[in-house]
Chain A
Amino acid sequence: MSDATAVKVREIRALIARHKRWDVIFGIIGVLSLMIGVLTFVALFLDMVIDGAPRLTWDFFTNFPSRKPNQAGILSAWVGTTMVMIVTICAAVPLGVGAGVYLEEYAPRNWMTDLIEINVTNLAGVPSIVYGLLALGLFIYEFGLGQSVLTAGLTLALLILPVIIVATREAIRSIPAAIREGSYALGATKWQTAAHHIIPYSLPGILTGVIIGLARAIGETAPIITVGALTFIAFLPPAPVQAEPPFVSFEWLMSGFTVMPIQMFNWTSRPEAAFQLNAAAAGVVLLVMTLSMNALAIYIRYRLRKNIKW
């Protein structure tokens, strides 16, 4: 080998080493960026738990909010959240699954279908507070539903509808055409095929979407404020089940209410430090609720990916 080639080889090796160094540097930058996310999450969680833990007693869950920070609790907030969520589920699940089934199984290829599809995509990008304004103008003043559990539940249902529709469509799309063809070959109608095969097989996927949607709805604050949730409620809505006939009452739908995030917002915005400890405790409860729901959805999806092989 001549000297000239040896020098050249050395130069090329140096060039390669220099370029490879960038691989390592970027790898480190990538890990660091991820760590910023991880550290923020850890700081947020620890900060909240350390502040809120002393307030997380049994009484905190069974007391109404109060002017005395030590006696204040989240009873009306978690009961309100539960009731609003019941309304949201009853409205959003049938509508979302129905719309998903229609778009995947029934919809003809025409402008109306295109319109609906573009709409669903765009609605997912509308800020949540705009839904609150819609509810204020439409549900409260046009329909006269009042600042009630029903209004809040319907508002959140509209908000999470795109999530459920998209999840339903994805779940249905992963079912192979052979299933449909087999069903039609046996003489089933479109609806029989949908009800006996398509919907049951896509249930886990739909469930994932519903859980993620609900986790979002539970933490949603802004639209509920515009709808007019009260920040200080020391009563519970009337119970849905009663001792005397007709046993079932729907008065709770029209009742005033508060929900967990509103209660937390109220405590956060008070100047007294004692109330901010309550806010931290409410935040821990809210975090545990939403994180466990999201984790459940991720787990279901993981299982699904592993188990189903068409």
Chain B
Amino acid sequence: MTSISLADRIDAVPEHFVSDRLARRKLRNIKERIIELVLFLAASVSVATTIGIVLILLKESFVFFQQVSLWDFLTDSQWTPLFSDAHYGIMPLLSGTLVSSTVALLVAIPLGTIIAIYLSEFAPFAVREIAKPFLELLGGIPTIVYGYFALLFVTPLLQMIFPELPGFNLLSAGLVMGIMIIPYVSSVSEDAMRAVPMALREGSYAMGATRFQTAIRVVTPAAFSGIAAAYILGISRAVGETMILAVAAGMQPNLTWNPLEPAATITAYIVQVALGDLPHGSIGYQTIFAAGLTLALMTLFFNVLGHILRKRFRQVY
């Protein structure tokens, strides 16, 4: 019945009025479609960026590995691509990256975790309200400023303790990098701890546990997946950090495991080459893409590891 009465009513409306409205609606639908397409394209820029990064790194590295064997790249203990006696062993750069990252993580992980537990479980409201934005500010300082600080403040300070410490060294760069990473570790871990339901804490207190026991034995294990994600984030920051190392650790490739020595990292090498003027297509130009590929693979490895840890240890409440 309703359909008939609706048809009657449409018949009663003048014809040009209906077609006008229909036409407008059609136009409107087309416009909606176009807008949706434009927004979709904006969203796919991120995918295009990833594809672009992968393609560019693979393309230039492919040319590089046609001239240098992968075996040499991984096992040669010298990295002197710009000398006449050229060696292409990534190990010296890798050792610099690993040593400086280890120093940084030895600072950032304990301090970041303690700060996170303190802010989440112990700190009074007022302290947390001040400390959180402050830590955020600490994370917002440009890395070149940290580099200046490491080279001209921390290194002279360390030279009072280790008189034979050279002006460029991995230790001071690593320490300052650790301070830089603290906010990343602490804020992500704290979020994870605060997401632990109150009932777990209440249960623990009801059993007579103290604050410290609750924090260490209940909250921290329950938030483990988030804390692991925070550590992984810290590790990828440390591995990819550039300017602190380029300024304070020197640019000389050096196969060493001693943080008191100067050494270039993968990132510092890329900066060093980019500062000069290398012709497009030369082997020197391709080395920075091979170094970049190594760096990207390392961060990818840590990201995947973080993903697995998160999945494996996630507690569902």
Determine the distance from Cα of A40 to Cα of B40 in the docked complex, in whole angstroms: 44
Looking at chain B's contact residues, the main secondary structure is helix
Determine the distance from Cα of A279 to Cα of B153 in the docked complex, in whole angstroms: 13
Which of B11-19, B45-53, B88-96, B197-205 sits within the interface? B45-53
Task: Tell whether A298 is near chain B: CB-to-CB under 8 Å.
Answer: yes
- In the complex, number of A-B residue pairs with CB atoms less than 8 Å apart: 255
Cβ-defined contact, B142 with A220, below 8 A: yes
Q: In the assembled complex, which residues on chain A have CB atoms less than 8 Å from the CB atom of B60?
A: 137
Q: In the assembled complex, which residues on chain B have CB atoms less than 8 Å from the CB atom of A261?
A: 142, 144, 243
Cβ-defined contact, A133 with B57, below 8 A: yes
Cβ-defined contact, A33 with B236, below 8 A: no
Task: Tell whether B267 is near chain A: CB-to-CB under 8 Å.
Answer: yes
Determine the distance from Cα of A215 to Cα of B139 in the docked complex, in whole angstroms: 11
Q: In the assembled complex, which residues on chain A have CB atoms less than 8 Å from the CB atom of B247?
A: 265, 268-269
Other-chain residue from A48, A123, A225 in contact with B274 (beta carbon distance below 8 A): A225
Cβ-defined contact, B243 with A33, below 8 A: no
Task: Tell whether B210 is near chain A: CB-to-CB under 8 Å.
Answer: yes
Cβ-defined contact, B141 with A30, below 8 A: no
- What 1/0 flags go to A106-134 for Cβ under 8 Å of B? 11000000011001101101111111111
Q: Which B76-131 residues sit within 8 Å CB-CB of chain A?
A: 111, 114-115, 117-119, 122-123, 131
Task: Tell whether A36 is near chain B: CB-to-CB under 8 Å.
Answer: yes
Other-chain residue from A38, A116, A265 in contact with B144 (beta carbon distance below 8 A): A265
Count chain A residues whose beta carbon lies closer than 8 angstroms to a beta carbon of B. 88
Task: Tell whether A145 is near chain B: CB-to-CB under 8 Å.
Answer: no
Which of B66-74, B219-227, B289-297 sits within the interface? B289-297
Closest Cβ of chain B to A50, distance in Å, is 10
Report the nearest B residue to A98, measured CB to CB: B42
Cβ-defined contact, B52 with A138, below 8 A: yes
Task: Tell whether A179 is near chain B: CB-to-CB under 8 Å.
Answer: no
Which of B1-9, B29-37, B252-260 sits within the interface? B29-37
Using known A-B contacts A123-B49, A126-B299, A221-B144, determine if residue A99 contacts B111 with beta carbons closer than 8 Å.
Answer: no
